[in-house]
Structure 1
Amino acid sequence: MSIRVFIADDQEMVRVGFGLILAAEKDIEVVGEAADGAAAIEGIGRLRPDVALLDIRMPLLDGLEVTARVAGSTAVVVVTTFGDDTYVDTALAAGAVGFIVKDSGPQLLVSAVRAAARGDALISPELTLPLLRRRAAASAPVVGPDLLARLSDRELDVARLVAQGRTNAEIAGELYVALSTVKTHLARIQQRLEVRNRVEIAAVTWRRGAVE
């Protein structure tokens, strides 16, 4: 079954370009587009795409507001010219699962769509480590000093790779395990570290000095 994608950007050339890139992939189908935030909310609500690609600066409603309204039902990847730290943090807090800059290239765009459809997060490489360091410094849960000791050696390996910005598929490849095994490890890590998601896993791992 194809991944159904909705594109929202106020520039027609961007919408057309993204559409051509994605239409060339056998497993991706572009089902709709919008030039402003209000039309994006209407189209996403009506078409129920698997993934929405949203620009930040759009008329009527910006992409951050749209993200906050639709992220509960559609996986959102913010695609923008602006890789500003505040935009990244706000988009992720609003529920986006990905954030890439427009000059990242076609391959990363396609990878971000596939990652979002799988439930993974993908962020432009140049933004990933700064994001994790900010989260580690500012928003990691308050935990005891021996928290990482709760993890097995393999779970610690997975946590370290999450902290380095790896997707589930990349972790599976590096550790030579099945993708389902990685997801099982992540569920156990979240339970043992008493955190809610992979960003908090990364934050704990950074704060405990387990990542070089």
Structure 2
Amino acid sequence: MITVLLVDDQRLVRAGLRMLIESIPDFRVVGEAANGIEAIRLNAEHSPDLILMDLRMPGLDGVAATERIVAARPAAKVLVLTTFDDDDHLFPALAAGATGYLVKDTAPADLLTAIRRTADGDLLFSPTLLRRLVTHAIATHPTPKPPARQLNLTPREQEVLTLVAQGLSNQEIATHLHLGLTTVKTHIANLMTKTASDNRVRLALHAHNTP
């Protein structure tokens, strides 16, 4: 069972999200918050597997709430769901500790997939946002290209790494390469080890830095 806390100042949005999320048998909404203060309280009360967080709210906003929630419970997973996809909202949310960022025009099925992936430990971004993150990271923290022999990637690992950089999920990679999901997860784990990466954004950076 994946438990979810909804945080959005619009009641109709919360109602729609609850209906969508609870259409999945192993998803359960454990609380709803209309602002950051309520989110902090309900997080402490329920310790949900995932917090679906809006950013613009009265009182304490989503960025400040995320920062305080993650400080109090470092294992908390916050998936931002907002109208805004500009850098002025994206980067503060990530700096506060958000583990994913989606805009509200995301397809319902993609949102449900994102909830599951984030709860499972993925960093979740749309392909467009992931490319922006990688571009920003390269521009602000350029790193030299490591020799191919240093990483010692197999041809299949290189294929998987390229698809990670495009923002594909493990299941999408499996479908694209005609592999089993378990095999893809093994490749991802090996790539994490070889590149000393602790998340998919860092793996995406290596896709750009590897010859």
**Same structural fold, with TM-score higher than 0.5 when normalized by the shorter chain:** yes
Which range moved further: 180-189 or 159-168? 180-189
- The aligned counterpart of 1:95 is 97
- The aligned counterpart of 1:15 is 14
Return the alpha-carbon distance in structure 1 between the equivalents of residues 197 and 23 of structure 2: 39
Return the alpha-carbon distance in structure 2 between the equivalents of residues 133 and 147 of structure 1: 25
Given the alignment, which residue of 68, 79, 82 partners 1:80?
Answer: 82
- Any conservation in 2 of the 1:148–1:156 contact (CA below 8 Å)? no
| Structure 2: gaps of 5 or more residues | none
Q: 1:64 to 1:148 in 2, by over 3 A?
A: farther
Given the alignment, which residue of 116, 120, 141 partners 1:114?
Answer: 116
Return the alpha-carbon distance in structure 1 between the equivalents of residues 19 and 142 of structure 2: 40
Deviation readout 1:6-61 (Å, 9 max, x if unpaired) = 00111112111111111222221111010110110110111011111001112332
Return the alpha-carbon distance in structure 2 between the equivalents of residues 207 and 86 of structure 1: 26
Within a 5 Å distance, the mapping from 1:1-212 to structure 2 comes to 2-71=1-70, 72-139=74-141, 141-146=143-148, 149-208=151-210
Return the alpha-carbon distance in structure 1 between the equivalents of residues 158 and 196 of structure 2: 15
| Structure 1: gaps of 5 or more residues | none
Return the alpha-carbon distance in structure 2 between the equivalents of residues 187 and 141 of structure 1: 22
Return the alpha-carbon distance in structure 2 between the equivalents of residues 169 and 118 of structure 1: 13
4+ runs of 1 displaced by more than 6 Å?
A: none
State, as a whole percentage, how many aligned pairs show the same letter.
41
SS in 2 for 1:180: helix
Write the letter of the residue equivalent to 2:24: E
CA shift, 1:85, in A, is 1.8
Write the letter of the residue equivalent to 1:173: T
CA shift, 1:147, in A, is 6.3
TM-score, length-scaled by structure 2: 0.87
Deviation readout 1:46-88 (Å, 9 max, x if unpaired) = 1011111001112332212222233422221100011112322
TM-score, length-scaled by structure 1: 0.87
